[in-house]
């Protein structure tokens, strides 16, 4: 009788072990497919004699946690000059008073990369008279927002190195 129970217990243990091994077999599991990150780029053009020439690019990319990055790649700049970067609401021909971001970019004479936003889901807009307003700024929000970017030669110069529309303003 003990021998019979041992055989049944052994058969049950073998069946459970077989199921466990089959369940752990990775060949049968489909790997999780993550969608590729979304990204969109917007051209920046020069002014004056460079008005038809692309002098930079503004790119928004989506991260896996739904946050975004907005990066400026500036191709035209003057070495050792501190350029002023303005990311402003509205399109370049009719700007608003909403400021998304201001930064400085030191020229290298080559390509300059400026992170305007990194891993953000919300931003604080600076408005007229010092008012601020927090808005959602995930990928869909960003590409639907009408804005433009302007890069000035320096803080004391009226010369624009690059300018272009972003998001809804670019359509």
Domain contains 118: yes
**Is 63 within a domain?**
yes
CA 56, CA 42: separation in Å to the nearest integer? Answer: 9
How many C-beta neighbours within 10 Å does residue 112 have?
A: 19
The answer to whether position 117 is within a domain reads yes
Per-residue confidence (pLDDT) for residue 92, from 0 to 100: 94
Sequence-distant (≥ 6) Cβ neighbours of residue 83 within 8 angstroms: 74, 77, 104, 105, 106, 107, 112, 151, 152, 153, 154, 161
Task: Identify the pLDDT of residue 27.
Answer: 55
> How many domains does the chain divide into?
1
Alpha-carbon distance of 65 to 75, in angstroms, equals 30
154 is a domain residue: yes
Asked whether residue 51 is assigned to any structural domain, the reply reads yes
The model scores a pTM over 0.85: no
Q: pLDDT truncated to tens, each residue of the chain (171 aa)? A: 544 544 555 556 555 555 555 555 555 566 777 777 899 999 999 998 889 999 999 999 999 999 999 999 999 889 999 999 999 999 999 999 999 999 999 999 999 999 999 999 999 999 988 899 999 999 999 999 999 999 999 888 889 999 999 999 887
In a domain, 10, yes or no: no
Are 122 and 133 in contact, with CB atoms under 8 Å apart?
Answer: no
Q: What is the pLDDT of residues 107-124, one digit of tens each?
A: 999 999 999 999 999 999
Q: Does 70 map to a domain?
A: yes
pLDDT for residue 152: 94
CB distance 71 to 142 below 8 Å: no
Asked if residue 108 is part of any domain, the answer here is yes
- pLDDT computed for residue 2 by the predictor: 47
CATH code of residue 119: 2.60.40
Contacts of 160 (CB under 8 A, 6+ apart): 46, 47, 150, 151, 152, 153
Residue 169: closest CA among 56, 42, 15:
42
- Which residues constitute the domain of residue 129? 39-170
């Amino acid at each position: 009788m003990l021998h019979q129970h041992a055989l049944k217990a052994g058969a049950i243990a073998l069946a459970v072990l077989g199921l466990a091994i089959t369940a752990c077999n990775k060949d049968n599991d489909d790997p999780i497919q993550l969608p590729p990150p979304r990204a969109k780029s917007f051209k920046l053009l020069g002014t004056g004699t460079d008005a038809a020439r692309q002098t930079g690019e503004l790119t928004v990319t989506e991260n896996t946690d739904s946050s975004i990055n907005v990066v400026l790649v500036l191709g035209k700049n003057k070495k050792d000059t501190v350029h002023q970067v303005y990311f402003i609401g509205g399109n370049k021909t009719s700007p608003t008073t909403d400021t998304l971001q201001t930064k400085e970019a030191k020229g290298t004479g080559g390509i300059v990369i400026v992170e305007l936003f990194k891993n953000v889901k919300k931003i604080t807009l600076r408005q007229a008279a010092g008012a601020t307003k927090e808005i959602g700024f995930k990928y869909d929000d960003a590409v639907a927002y009408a804005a433009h970017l302007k890069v000035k030669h320096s803080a004391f110069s009226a010369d624009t190195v690059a300018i272009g529309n972003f998001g809804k303003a670019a359509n």
